[in-house]
Amino acid sequence: MVGQLETWFGRPKKGGVGGGLRNGGEGGSLARPHSESDFNDSEEPEFSWDNLDDNTVNELFEKMLVSLITFFMLHSALQEKKEPLRTHPMMTKKEMLRYHGSYFKNHDRLQHECIRCLRAIMNNTVGLKMVFQQQDALMVIARSLDASKQSVMYEAAKLLAAVCLVQPNGHEIALAAIATSGELRRKERFTPIIDGLLIKSNDALRVVCMQLINAIVTTPDDMDFRIHLRNEFMRMGLSDALELLSKDASEDLVKQVKIFQENREEDYEEFMQRFDNVRLELDDPVDCFDVLKNLVTDTPSEPYFLSILQHLLFIRDDTLISLAERFSSKPPKTLDGTDSKSGDPSASSTSGKKVKDLKVLDGKSAQNLSILLGGSLKHMSYRNVQRCILRCDDSLLSGSVLDQLIAYLPPPDQLKKLEEYKDRYDELTEAEQFAVTIAEVKRLLPRLKSMSFKQHYAEMVQDIKPDIVAGTAACEEIKQSKKFANVLELILLIGNYMNTGSRNAQAFGFEISYLPKLSSTKDVENKMTLLHFLVETVEKKFPELINFGEELAHVDRAARVSTDSLQKALRLMDSSIRNLEMDLANSKVPQGEDDLFAQVMGVSFHCKVYMQKRMGIFGKGLGVALLCFVSDDGRQSSNLFKIT
């Protein structure tokens, strides 16, 4: 087979007749691209296996055996196949190494020639269409992205870059082939491209790899998809590679890097427009989280966002769960048919854990508690957790741990049923043992909620206090601004003039919600809006009112404040403080020496009441200020004109 392929792809023979043409008349050879620059036998130094010492031969021979056994294992061969080969004399080992290296040398050369043939086929519309119809054709090219075979990878990368630019679905087909190749290799799909980009000794390959990256990233029309692909490359090591390329890159490579950076900046600017041009660092996880949190706050998506975050918290515990399942399973029987547990006490205890069934809790509740015990509480005993709850120790029970305890705590009826199993504690699962232990704390759920409120109170105040201050200050500025009052008076005057003869004439006020409609009220010629007329009137007749906005410094910040959200937050804080007061009243008698709830939470309660009163004053001031500009819809009459 190799000889037949050699006649197809080999160089012309001495007689001037190309291999593959049987009748060699004059001019009978076919001109075609060849690859002497890539694979030239005459330029390669002759390697002598006879000059190697025995240790080197044995080392190379072992590597060859590993390669062969890997191949043989696919055909159900056993590891013992190595032993007979190791007994061969040194001369035989050298001969095997010689043939083994020759095989891979010819294999690489044939692969290179096949890729070149595919390139020739795809160099026209008919051939390109035929290749697209073959599902495995581009897969062969994608599988050739191997940094250890630089000449082959060079041709494959050029082909894939060209395929990405073919409309309408060339990019999709090429990307699917690269993804499937990565799955077969069990590596990230873009890893070979980054590996080729890091080969400093082959500048041509680095340029082609950068061209392929640009073709993959810049071709899609969807900006979100472009950013996704670019971030995937950056995650695979492109960010570090770009820093290295800036030091020793050639002119062509610098050009490709510049194209990549320019497209990256354009997509970044377009992406920022979604967030009202708010500058943020996409590489900073805190900035990205803050933007997402602000986008979903007080929207129907907020519970789903919280659910996603909660699931992300459990990802690190998957390893612990898989290990627990692995080591809690019953060991297999020994070869002689006897059960291994008879001679292994550890195996007996392990299998004993497995047979425990849930007595009260359902599977979901037990799983949630197990995740919590294997994660945040994995270094604490059950009694230690109970002691921390009694002492209200927030150094060990953080706000996030308390929130998880509240969310995963079984309902009261299940906790009551679990109390019946106190005498059979060892028969319970770990999750149920934990639940029984902490359930000994009276009024457990209210106590956990009060502790959680104590931890989150400062954060809640920090979230709403700036909005209350900004809203109150803005309302006071509007109420006290004489220039703004004169502007409103002028608008009222113009409105009364426009409504002369109607029932809305001589009004003494108007709805403030109609101010934005000034820009949509136009004259009969549809050339000027009422807002333009108002501005011209102020400039000509009342120039001292032009800078009325300087008296309203906090209005822009207050315009983004949601009064509904503020009221909701204040009501939640007020309700939590009342619940804490009730818990303190019910905890006057300690449950034991470790119960410090009244001492710890009592001081916190008085501080929070004082702060809540201050917040209430701010909130009341905001409400009073708002009343100056809000009318009762039920009391509206003809004296409130409407701009039409």
pLDDT above 70: residue 576: yes
Top-confidence residue, 277 or 487: 487
pLDDT above 80: residue 327: no
In-domain check, residue 488: yes
Top-confidence residue, 143 or 10: 143
Residue 431 to residue 368: CA distance in whole angstroms: 9
Top-confidence residue, 303 or 219: 219
Are 265 and 297 within one domain?
no
Three-state secondary structure string covering 503-537: CCCCCCEECHHHHHHHHCCECCCCCCEHHHHHHHH
Are 129 and 79 within one domain?
no
Band the pLDDT of 438: cuts 50, 70, 90. confident
Q: What is the DSSP letter of 640?
A: E
In-domain check, residue 644: no
Top-confidence residue, 497 or 6: 497
In-domain check, residue 583: no
Residue pointed to by tokens 């056994």: 69
> Tell me, what's the pLDDT at 353?
44
pLDDT above 50: residue 342: no
> Tell me, what's the pLDDT at 6?
38
Q: What is the DSSP secondary-structure string of 90-102? A: HHHHHHHHHHHHH
- The closest alpha carbon to 157, from 120, 183, 119, belongs to 119
pLDDT tens digits, 596-634: 777 777 765 556 565 555 555 555 555 554 445 444 444
- The closest alpha carbon to 612, from 570, 584, 641, belongs to 570
> Tell me, what's the pLDDT at 215?
93
Are 148 and 107 within one domain?
no
- CA pseudo-torsion sign 621, 625, 626, 628: positive
Are 246 and 173 within one domain?
yes
Each as own residue / partner, the long-range contacts of residues 166-175 (CB below 8 Å, 24 or more positions apart, any chain) are 166/128, 170/132, 171/215, 171/216, 171/219, 171/220, 173/132, 173/138, 174/138, 174/142, 174/216, 175/216
Q: Residue 507 has which token pair?
A: 């009004």
Band the pLDDT of 216: cuts 50, 70, 90. very high
| Radius of gyration (C-alpha) of the chain in whole angstroms | 39
Greatest Cα pair distance in the chain: 119
Are 103 and 221 within one domain?
no
> Tell me, what's the pLDDT at 603?
61
- The closest alpha carbon to 139, from 176, 88, 172, 86, belongs to 176
In-domain check, residue 406: yes
The most confident of the ranges 42-56, 169-183, 260-274 is 169-183
Residue 568 to residue 561: CA distance in whole angstroms: 13
> Tell me, what's the pLDDT at 91?
75
Residue 213 to residue 74: CA distance in whole angstroms: 35
pLDDT above 80: residue 446: yes
In-domain check, residue 30: no
Angle at which helices 302-313 and 285-296 pack, to 10 degrees?
A: 140
Q: Which amino acid is at 464?
A: I
CB 375 within 8 A of CB 382: no
Contacts of 393 (CB under 8 A, 6+ apart): 387
pLDDT above 70: residue 48: no
Contacts of 581 (CB under 8 A, 6+ apart): 605
Number of domains observed in the structure of the chain: 5
Helices marked H in 273-381: 285-296, 302-313, 318-328, 345-354, 363-374
Q: What is the DSSP secondary-structure string of 566-614? A: HHHHHHHHHHHHHHHHHHHHHTSS-SSTT--HHHHHHHHHHHHHHHHHH
Are 253 and 175 within one domain?
yes
CA distances from 465 to 230, 470, 626, 628 (A): 40, 8, 17, 22
Top-confidence residue, 385 or 69: 385
- CA pseudo-torsion sign 127, 133, 136, 139: positive
Q: What is the DSSP letter of 89?
A: -
Q: Residue 250 has which token pair?
A: 């050639």
Each as own residue / partner, the long-range contacts of residues 118-127 (CB below 8 Å, 24 or more positions apart, any chain) are 118/159, 119/155, 119/158, 119/159, 120/32, 120/33, 122/159, 122/162, 122/163
- What CATH number is given to the structural domain containing 431? 1.20.58.630
> Tell me, what's the pLDDT at 622?
52
> Tell me, what's the pLDDT at 77?
43
Angle at the Cα of 76 (from 72 to 77), degrees rounded to 5?
50
pLDDT above 70: residue 195: yes
Task: Give residue 201's region: left, alpha or beta (phi > 0; psi -120 to 50).
Answer: alpha
Within 10 Å of residue 55's Cβ, how many Cβ atoms? 8
pLDDT above 80: residue 401: yes
Mean confidence (pLDDT) of the chain:
73
The most confident of the ranges 269-283, 287-301, 623-637 is 287-301
Are 351 and 374 within one domain?
no
In-domain check, residue 501: yes
Query: Could you tell me the pTM of the whole model?
Result: 0.39
Are 301 and 367 within one domain?
no
Least confident of 263-267, 280-284, 523-527, 555-559: 280-284
Residue 109 to residue 39: CA distance in whole angstroms: 7
In-domain check, residue 40: no
Are 173 and 247 within one domain?
yes
Q: Which domain holds residue 522?
A: 482-551
Beta bridge partners of 522: 529
Band the pLDDT of 51: cuts 50, 70, 90. low
Are 400 and 510 within one domain?
no
Q: Which amino acid is at 232?
A: E
Are 90 and 156 within one domain?
no
Q: What is the DSSP letter of 234?
A: I
Write down which residue in 71, 88, 121 finishes a domain: 121
Are 102 and 208 within one domain?
no
Top-confidence residue, 366 or 96: 366
pLDDT above 90: residue 214: yes
Q: Which amino acid is at 236?
A: M
Residue 584 to residue 578: CA distance in whole angstroms: 10
In-domain check, residue 315: yes
Task: Give residue 84's region: left, alpha or beta (phi > 0; psi -120 to 50).
Answer: alpha
Residue 534 to residue 489: CA distance in whole angstroms: 12
Beta bridge partners of 641: 510
> Tell me, what's the pLDDT at 99?
59
